[in-house]
Amino acid sequence: MNTDTAEAALYPALEPFAQQRLPVGGGHAIHVEESGHPGGFPALFLHGGPGSQTRPLHRRFFDPGFYRIVLADQRGCGRSVPPGRTEENTTAHLVADIEAVRERLGLGRILLFGGSWGAALALAYASTHPDRVAAMVLRGVFLGTRAEVDWYLGGLGRLVPQAWQALARGEGGSDLLTRYHALVSQGDAAAAQRWVAYEDAVMALDSGQPALIGGQDENGALARARIQLHYLAHECFLAPGELDSKLARLCRIPVLIVQGARDLVCPPRTALELAERLAHAELRLVEGGGHSAARPEMAQALRRATDELRGRLPALAAP
């Protein structure tokens, strides 16, 4: 990700005022950091993937004079330990981890900010704990459905033919996900590198930059691919239609959906359908915006969303 593209659109770089590794069970300890205003309104950033991680850029979507900015790497991801661990690592565990972070930090109602897989996780948490969520900002909506995964491995592959050919190795077919899940679960580092290279090529489609080849070390690629394949091979640990069936629980939560009109990874249709089903959702379709939050069009729209919520959040947080 080229963070320089968002420099003018986001708040200045800042450092955390607190960091910790929070034990959450199953041998996992997740990295949690806080920045911004220690007494500010809590905003929790949920990263994408599955298998990605938080980055310094993610602090900068929020006004540091108003928000207490909380970033957390999900189980097995980033600076959480152990890296790539899939045991006791499901969506239900991640939802429980968000609640553990909220309780450990003594937070009341929170603003959830989630992009791509982070949007699905935000919806999963909010539908489980609607009384804990004051508002949500969702980007590049992904709901973890089989159709979305098929698009990721099928339709998008036609747009990055070289990366697809390197991934499929002349085979392809509907069992590609199953095959890579097995290979990476067994520690096949070369397979992990091919999987990560394909993801990087897909994510570069709307970034305006070429995909980074070999940009991650072997262990990092293996951990990242292991987590992502673990989730995708298990339908993101969501029953068919599970998120849709619980949307009524979010009827009182304001939701700003910031969706790139040119998003190829998570096309706008899903965001449009979600906005129609949420009572207090506002869809902001960003012309020229794609999937990457680091592009100036999306970065500006996302900062605007968190800025606009500043005047509403204290009242929304009241019981």
Work out the pLDDT band at 1, boundaries 50, 70, 90: very low
Q: For the chain, what percent of residues have pLDDT higher than 70?
A: 92
Q: What is the pLDDT of residues 50-103, one digit of tens each?
A: 999 999 999 999 999 999 999 999 999 999 999 999 999 999 999 999 999 999
- Residue 126, pLDDT > 80, answer yes
Give me Rg for the CA atoms of the chain. Answer: 18
Greater model confidence, 209 or 125 = 125
Q: For the chain, what percent of residues have pLDDT higher than 90?
A: 87
The tally of CA atoms less than 13 A away on the side-chain side of residue 246 is: 17
Rounded Cα gap, residues 168 and 152, in angstroms: 13
Q: What is the pLDDT of residues 271-293, one digit of tens each?
A: 999 999 999 999 999 999 999 99
- Residue 207, pLDDT > 90, answer no
- Residue 142, pLDDT > 90, answer yes
- Residue 169, pLDDT > 90, answer no
- Structure tokens that stand for 200 in this block: 């990087």
CA 247 to chain centre: 19
Amino acid at position 33, single letter: E
Residues labelled catalytic: 116, 263, 291
Determine the pLDDT at residue 284: 97
Task: Identify any residues that bridge with 25 across adjacent strands, giving them in sequence order.
Answer: 28
Determine the pLDDT at residue 2: 40
Work out the pLDDT band at 7, boundaries 50, 70, 90: confident
- Which domains are delineated in the chain? 3-144+238-317 (3.40.50.1820), 146-236 (no CATH)
- Residue 184, pLDDT > 50, answer yes
- Residue 118, pLDDT > 90, answer yes
Determine the pLDDT at residue 164: 93
What global pTM score does this model have? Answer: 0.94
Query: To which residue do tokens 């590794």 refer?
Result: 21
Geometric angle at alpha carbon 91, from 86 and 96, rounded to 5°: 105
Greater model confidence, 6 or 99 = 99
Alpha helices in the chain (DSSP H): 91-104, 117-128, 146-150, 161-168, 176-185, 189-203, 218-232, 242-245, 268-277, 296-309, 313-317
Query: To which residue do tokens 């959906």 refer?
Result: 257
Separation in Å, CA 20 to CA 6, 16, 72, 73, 80: 28, 11, 10, 11, 10
Contacts of 72 (CB under 8 A, 6+ apart): 22, 30, 31, 32, 33, 44, 45, 46, 54, 97, 98, 101
Rounded Cα gap, residues 75 and 227, in angstroms: 9
